[in-house]
Amino acid sequence: MLSLGFFAWIVIGGLAGWLGSKIMGTDEQQGLLMNIVVGVIGGLIGGMILGLVFDVESAGWFFSFLTCLLGSVILLWVVKKLTGSKS
């Protein structure tokens, strides 16, 4: 994931953050910027987790997207648990 350029981080992170917010039911609370932030941070989280098992650096765009999506869902789940949000 870190090998992707800045623009790729924004695009993949934004899409993964948006889809992750749809999955977790937080889409109404997030805007475009927050989706990007969640997706990029999710990419770091997913990369750390999946990096223990797979070579995430050379896996390609699709695997990078799935990594960001997984990390985004985990991040949003943790935030919902910490804030006590029911949505």
Q: Is the pLDDT of residue 76 over 90?
A: yes
In this structure, what are the phi and psi dihedrals at residue 41, rounded to the nearest 5 degrees? -65, -40
Per-residue pLDDT, 8: 81
The proportion of the chain whose per-residue pLDDT surpasses 90, expressed as a percent, equals: 33
Sorted by where each begins, the domain ranges of the chain are 6-82
Task: Say whether pTM exceeds 0.85.
Answer: no
Q: Is the pLDDT of residue 22 over 60?
A: yes
Q: Is the pLDDT of residue 20 over 90?
A: yes
**Which of the pair, 75 or 10, is modelled with greater confidence?**
75
Query: In angstroms, rounded to a whole number, what is the distance separating the alpha carbons of residues 53 and 9?
Result: 22
